[in-house]
Chains A and B, each alone.
Chain A
Amino acid sequence: MFKKKQAAAAATLENVLNQPVVQGRSPWRDARIRFMRNKAAVVSLVILVLITLACVFGPMLLPHTYDSTDWDAISLAPTLQNWHWFGTDDLGRDLLVRTLIGGRISLMVGALATIAAVIIGVIWGATAGFMGGKIDNLMMRMVDMMYAVPYLLIAILMVTLLGREFYLVVLTITILSWMDMSRVVRGQTLSIRSKEYIEAAHAIGVSTPTIIRRHIVPNLLGIVVIYTTVTVPGVILTESVLSFLGLGVQEPMTSWGVLIGDGTKTMESQPWMMLFPAALLSLTLYCTNYIGDGLRDALDPKDR
Chain B
Amino acid sequence: MWSYTLRRVLVTIPTVWAVTTVCYLLLHITPGGPFDGERKVSAAVLANLQAKYHLDMPLWQQYLYYMKSLLQGDLGASFRYADWSVNELVAHALPVSLTIGGSSLIISLVLGVVLGIVAALRQNSPIDYLVMLISNMGSAFPSFIIGPVLVLVFSILLKWLPSGGWDDFAVSYMVLPVALLTFINVSTIGRVMRGSLIEIMNSNFIRTARAKGLPMRTIVFRHALKPALMPVVTLLAPLAISSITSAVVTESIFSLPGLGKLIVNGAANRDYTLVLGLVVLVTFMTVLFNLLVDLAYALLDPKIRY
Q: Are A267 and B26 in contact (CB under 8 A)?
A: no
Q: Are A153 and B282 in contact (CB under 8 A)?
A: yes
A120 at the interface (CB under 8 A from B): no
List residues of chain B with CB within 8 A of the CB of A51. none
A9 nearest CB across to chain B (Å): 58
Contact for B263 among A145, A156, A285, CB less than 8 A: A156
List residues of chain B with CB within 8 A of the CB of A246. 264, 268
On whether A152 and B248 interact (CB within 8 A), knowing A161-B26, A281-B142, the answer reads yes
A154 at the interface (CB under 8 A from B): yes
A16 at the interface (CB under 8 A from B): no
- Measured in the bound complex, the distance between the Cα atoms of B248 and A244 in whole Å is 11
Within 8 A of A (CB), among B253-292: 253, 263-264, 267-268, 270, 275-276, 278-279, 282-283, 286-287, 290
Q: Are A264 and B26 in contact (CB under 8 A)?
A: no
Total contacting residues, chain A, CB less than 8 A = 39
- Measured in the bound complex, the distance between the Cα atoms of B139 and A233 in whole Å is 9
Closest to B238 in A: A147
Q: Are B264 and A145 in contact (CB under 8 A)?
A: no
- Measured in the bound complex, the distance between the Cα atoms of B246 and A144 in whole Å is 21
Contact for A285 among B15, B142, B148, CB less than 8 A: B142
Closest to A246 in B: B268
Q: Are B267 and A159 in contact (CB under 8 A)?
A: yes
Within 8 A of B (CB), among A46-80: none
B196 at the interface (CB under 8 A from A): no
Q: Are B26 and A158 in contact (CB under 8 A)?
A: yes
List residues of chain B with CB within 8 A of the CB of A233. 139
B249 at the interface (CB under 8 A from A): yes
On whether A151 and B245 interact (CB within 8 A), knowing A157-B267, A267-B151, the answer reads yes
- Measured in the bound complex, the distance between the Cα atoms of B282 and A29 in whole Å is 47
- Measured in the bound complex, the distance between the Cα atoms of B142 and A282 in whole Å is 8
On whether A245 and B252 interact (CB within 8 A), knowing A160-B270, A237-B142, A260-B144, the answer reads yes
B19 at the interface (CB under 8 A from A): yes
Produce 1/0 per residue, A143-183, CB < 8 A to B.
01100111111101111111000000000000000000000
Closest to A149 in B: B19
Contact for A274 among B14, B148, B241, B245, CB less than 8 A: B148
List residues of chain A with CB within 8 A of the CB of B241. 150
* A contacts with B: majority SS: helix
Q: Are B264 and A150 in contact (CB under 8 A)?
A: no
A303 at the interface (CB under 8 A from B): no
On whether A160 and B275 interact (CB within 8 A), knowing A148-B283, A289-B139, the answer reads yes
A118 nearest CB across to chain B (Å): 21
A250 nearest CB across to chain B (Å): 13
How many A-B contacts are there with CB distance less than 8 Å?
Answer: 109
- Measured in the bound complex, the distance between the Cα atoms of B136 and A289 in whole Å is 10
Within 8 A of B (CB), among A243-292: 244-247, 257, 260-261, 263-264, 267-268, 271, 274, 278, 281-282, 285-286, 289
Q: Are B145 and A278 in contact (CB under 8 A)?
A: yes
- Measured in the bound complex, the distance between the Cα atoms of B145 and A263 in whole Å is 10
A271 nearest CB across to chain B (Å): 7
On whether A260 and B278 interact (CB within 8 A), knowing A148-B19, A153-B263, the answer reads no
Contact for A241 among B12, B249, B282, CB less than 8 A: B249
Contact for B287 among A148, A161, A274, CB less than 8 A: A148
On whether A244 and B144 interact (CB within 8 A), knowing A149-B283, A153-B279, the answer reads yes
On whether A157 and B30 interact (CB within 8 A), knowing A148-B286, A264-B148, the answer reads no
Closest to A150 in B: B282
List residues of chain B with CB within 8 A of the CB of A159. 267
List residues of chain B with CB within 8 A of the CB of A158. 26
B23 at the interface (CB under 8 A from A): yes
- Measured in the bound complex, the distance between the Cα atoms of B290 and A25 in whole Å is 46
List residues of chain B with CB within 8 A of the CB of A274. 148
A240 at the interface (CB under 8 A from B): yes
Within 8 A of B (CB), among A115-152: 144-145, 148-152
B158 at the interface (CB under 8 A from A): no
List residues of chain B with CB within 8 A of the CB of A157. 23, 26-27, 267, 275-276, 279
List residues of chain A with CB within 8 A of the CB of B264. 156, 245-247
5 contacts between A and B (CB under 8 A): A145-B18, A145-B19, A161-B26, A264-B144, A268-B152
> What residues make up the interface of B, taking CB atoms closer than 8 Å to A?
12, 14-15, 18-19, 23, 26-27, 30, 139-142, 144-145, 148, 151-152, 156, 241, 244-246, 248-249, 252-253, 263-264, 267-268, 270, 275-276, 278-279, 282-283, 286-287, 290
> What residues make up the interface of A, taking CB atoms closer than 8 Å to B?
144-145, 148-154, 156-162, 233, 237, 240-241, 244-247, 257, 260-261, 263-264, 267-268, 271, 274, 278, 281-282, 285-286, 289
Name 4 extra pairs, CB < 8 A, besides A145-B15, A267-B151. A145-B18, A161-B26, A241-B142, A264-B144
